[in-house]
Amino acid sequence: MSNVGDIQKLREQTGAGMMAAKKALEEASGDFDKAVDLLRQRGVKVAASKGSRATGQGLVEAYIHMGGKLGVLVELACETDFVARTDKFKELAHDLAMHVAASNPLYLEPSEIPMEVIAHEKQIYTEQLAAEGKKGEMVEKIVEGKLVKYYQEVCLLQQQFFKDDKQTVTDVITAAIVAIGENIKVRRFARFALGS
């Protein structure tokens, strides 16, 4: 039998409903971490099923930091105007704007990175590895690994979330999709810093 305190803690951490949290804890035989993993896996499936639904509503969130020396705009889209007006959706938009201010992503996702930028990064990594004496197939694998790390640094959706480095921004959005019940997408963002 699941402990009520564990159910509540699991709900707070994952945003899952009461019955979903209880069921996950029962399936995990009371193992809290395993229950979190089960809920996250289910969340990814739910989010994927909603991923093709149109997102014609939403809002643009503005965040100003450092006494007006740094500003961010984030366009966050959802399916309905009703959801766009909810506190959860507004909080997500605000958190994403704060994340952009703190983490300074350059792109939304890897597909937005120009091919010449990727080619340049590959060239730098290849030259570094050649200088270290690495050759052949090993170099290709290392370069691919370094590119994945580069994407995690410069792409908003792949960055570690500034409030919880155990989650990526995509994980946070996926959890919101599950909790809110609609498809949610970051359409675009802009970061402005005085003097840059």
Q: Which domains are delineated in the chain?
A: 4-50 (1.10.8.10), 57-108+155-193 (3.30.479.20), 114-154 (1.10.286)
CB 180 within 8 A of CB 78: yes
Distance of alpha carbon 123 from alpha carbon 129, whole angstroms: 10
What pLDDT sits at residue 86? Answer: 93
Q: Is the pLDDT of residue 15 over 90?
A: no
φ/ψ (deg, to 5) at 173: -65, -40
How large is the average pLDDT for residues 14-41? 75
Sorting pLDDT into bands at 50, 70 and 90, what band is 12?
low
Lowest mean pLDDT among 85-94, 145-154, 176-185: 176-185
How large is the average pLDDT for residues 112-138? 89
Question: How open is the CA angle 127-130-135, to the nearest 5 degrees?
Answer: 130
What pLDDT sits at residue 18? Answer: 65
Distance of alpha carbon 162 from alpha carbon 145, whole angstroms: 23
Sorting pLDDT into bands at 50, 70 and 90, what band is 123?
very high
Residue the block writes with tokens 């035989």 = 29
Sorting pLDDT into bands at 50, 70 and 90, what band is 61?
very high
How large is the average pLDDT for residues 175-192? 90
Q: Is the pLDDT of residue 183 over 50?
A: yes
Distance of alpha carbon 13 from alpha carbon 16, whole angstroms: 8
Average pLDDT of every residue of the chain = 85
How many DSSP H helices and E strands does the chain contain? Answer: 8, 5
Q: In the chain, what percentage of residues exceed pLDDT 90?
A: 48
pTM of the model: 0.72
Please give the biggest Cα pair distance in the chain: 59
